[in-house]
Structures are given as structure tokens and as C-alpha cells.
């Protein structure tokens, strides 16, 4: 069984054993001839895939928590009934599940986007983040000040909730040191997709 998670800039592919990543605009979707399942937040590509009968859109089987939530966020929330799900990709999405119910979330710019933001403010702020930053005291240099202002305040809030944290996305391993009680699972969205497929009897 082949699964595709199509984002704004990247396509993530899972065949049951390995996960691969491709450029969303450069991937040749029509070369895929077998039956595949997908979710997509990329409206342009979603429209194109409607022409291929072998591409099965799983979003039609999902009732969204609220109308504008991304299908990828919904799907990862389906696999954990209690905890904080963080997807660290082009944007960082945070969603809270409590006793099987969705309790809300928020969205931050991703690491690359935020670094670009600081860079446009001043060349003096063009620095990397410190993922080993201690959160128990205020920063005393520019690099740590930037990290604390962006990632530190975010991590402190997450840790204060006392929930298990489930991290996924391309930058998950980089931000992992900032969190307590954390699990990194690259294929979390695919576990959610498989749950939909099994529950709907699509396989």
C-alpha cells in the first residue's frame, strides 16, 4: 500500500517500510499507475489529482474539527487521544488532544521561515538557533535571545501543560531537546492515514 502526504512544497511518500520526500512541484504524479491513497494541503496539486482515478483522496472520509484546519493536522490528531501533537515543517503546528477530544492549537512559522524573518530585520540577527538552550534562565547573547524569543517561549508553554509531546515533521529531531516527555515519530501522519483506511475498509 502506498501513501502520499502532499504539502505546500514537499511530497512525503510511504510504502509500508520506508519514507521518502520529494519536491511537490517536480514530482510526476501521472507516472504512478497503481492505486494509492493521499491527503493534500496543496490546492493546485489536489485539483490535478482529481483527473487520476487511482489517486484516492482520504480527506473525504474525515470530519474536520473546524473548517479551516489542515487535513494533515486533523489526521495526526486522529492517532493520539491524549497529548500534544507538533508537526515541525514549513510551519510548526501545535494541536492538543484531551481524552479523545480536540482542545485547540496554534501555528508558528517554521525554522527556515523564522530565520529568514530575523535576517530581514538586521544582519546582526542572521544566526542559527541553539537547540540545546537552557530554558531555566534568560538569554545573555544574541543567538540565545533569538532562540528563547521564538522557540524558548513556545517550548516553555508546551512543557507547562504536562502532556506527552508527539513530534513529527522535517525539523522534529532538531527541536526535540527543548521538550520534556517527548516522542519523535516521522510517520505519524501515515499512521493516521492507515487508521482511516482500515476504519473505512478501503484496503
For residue 184, the model assigns a pLDDT of 96
Rounded to a whole number of angstroms, the distance between the first and last alpha carbons of the chain is 8
Model pLDDT for residues 182-196, shown as the tens digit of each residue: 999 999 999 999 999
Same-domain status, 177 and 161? yes
Q: H or E stretch including 104?
A: strand 101-109
Would you state the torsion angle of the CA atoms of residues 19, 23, 25, 26, taken in this order, to the nearest 10 degrees? Answer: -100
Could you give the CA distance from residue 60 to residue 6 in angstroms, rounded to a whole number?
15
The model's pLDDT over 20-76, given as tens digits with 9 standing for 90+, comes to 999 999 999 999 999 999 999 999 999 999 999 999 999 999 988 888 899 999 999
CB atoms within 10 A of CB 65: 16
Could you tell me if 79 and 177 lie in one domain? yes
Q: 155 and 97, same structural domain?
A: yes
Please tell me whether residues 147 and 51 are part of one structural domain.
Answer: no
* Overall residue count recorded for the chain in this entry: 203
Cβ–Cβ contacts within 10 Å for residue 116, how many? 12
Same domain, 108 and 14: no
Q: How many domains does the chain have?
A: 2
Specify whether 86 is located in the same domain as 159: yes
Same domain for 56 and 96?
no
Mean pLDDT, rounded, for 104-120? 95
**Average pLDDT rounded to a whole number, residues 109-128:** 95
Q: Evaluate whether 147 touches 135 at the Cβ level (below 8 Å).
A: no
Confidence of residue 8 (pLDDT cuts 50, 70, 90): confident
Q: Are 44 and 104 part of one and the same domain? A: no
Asked if residue 177 and residue 88 are part of one domain, the reply reads yes
142 in the same domain as 80:
yes
Region 97-105: mean pLDDT is 94
Sign of CA dihedral 93, 94, 97, 101: negative
Catalytic residue among 5, 28, 57, 72: 72
**In 41-107, which residue ranges form alpha helices assigned H by DSSP?**
43-49, 71-77
Q: Do strands 182-184 and 10-14 pair parallel, antiparallel, or not at all (unpaired)?
A: unpaired
pLDDT in tens, 119-176: 999 999 999 999 999 999 999 999 999 999 999 999 999 999 999 999 999 899 999 9
* Distance (Å, whole) CA 3 – CA 102: 25
Please give the pLDDT value at position 117.
Answer: 95
Q: Look at residue 123 in the predicted model and tell me its pLDDT.
A: 95
Identify the pLDDT of residue 63: 85
What's the pLDDT at 202? 92
pLDDT value for 66: 85
- Do 55 and 89 fall into the same domain? no
Q: Is 72 a catalytic residue?
A: yes
Domain around 58: 2-63+191-200
d(CA 159, CA 153): 10
With cut-offs at 50, 70 and 90, classify the pLDDT of residue 15.
very high
The CATH number of residue 161's host domain is 3.30.420.40
Cell 547573547, located at residue: 141
Residue 36, classed as helix, strand or coil, is: strand
9 vs 94 pLDDT, higher one = 94
Confidence at residue 68, expressed as pLDDT on a 0 to 100 scale: 86
Amino acid at each position: 500500500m502506498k501513501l502520499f502526504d502532499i504539502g505546500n512544497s514537499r511530497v512525503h511518500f510511504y510504502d509500508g517500510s520506508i519514507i521518502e520526500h520529494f519536491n511537490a512541484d517536480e514530482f510526476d504524479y501521472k507516472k504512478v499507475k497503481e492505486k494509492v491513497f493521499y491527503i493534500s494541503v496543496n490546492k493546485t496539486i489536489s485539483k490535478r489529482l482529481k483527473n487520476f482515478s487511482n489517486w484516492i483522496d482520504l480527506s473525504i472520509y474525515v470530519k474536520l474539527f473546524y473548517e479551516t484546519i489542515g487535513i494533515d493536522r486533523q489526521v495526526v490528531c486522529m492517532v493520539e487521544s491524549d497529548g500534544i501533537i507538533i508537526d515541525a515543517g514549513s510551519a510548526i503546528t501545535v494541536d492538543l488532544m484531551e481524552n479523545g477530544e480536540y482542545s485547540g492549537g496554534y501555528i508558528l512559522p517554521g525554522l527556515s521561515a523564522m530565520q529568514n524573518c530575523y535576517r530581514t530585520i538586521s544582519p546582526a540577527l542572521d544566526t542559527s538557533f541553539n537547540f540545546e538552550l537552557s530554558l531555566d534562565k534568560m538569554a545573555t547573547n544574541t543567538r540565545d535571545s533569538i532562540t528563547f524569543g521564538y522557540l524558548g517561549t513556545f517550548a516553555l508553554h508546551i512543557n507547562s501543560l504536562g502532556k506527552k509531546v508527539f513530534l513529527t515533521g522535517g525539523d522534529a529531531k532538531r527541536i526535540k531537546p527543548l521538550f520534556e516527555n517527548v516522542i519523535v515519530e516521522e510517520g505519524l501522519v501515515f499512521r493516521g492515514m492507515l487508521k482511516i483506511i482500515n476504519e473505512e475498509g478501503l484496503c
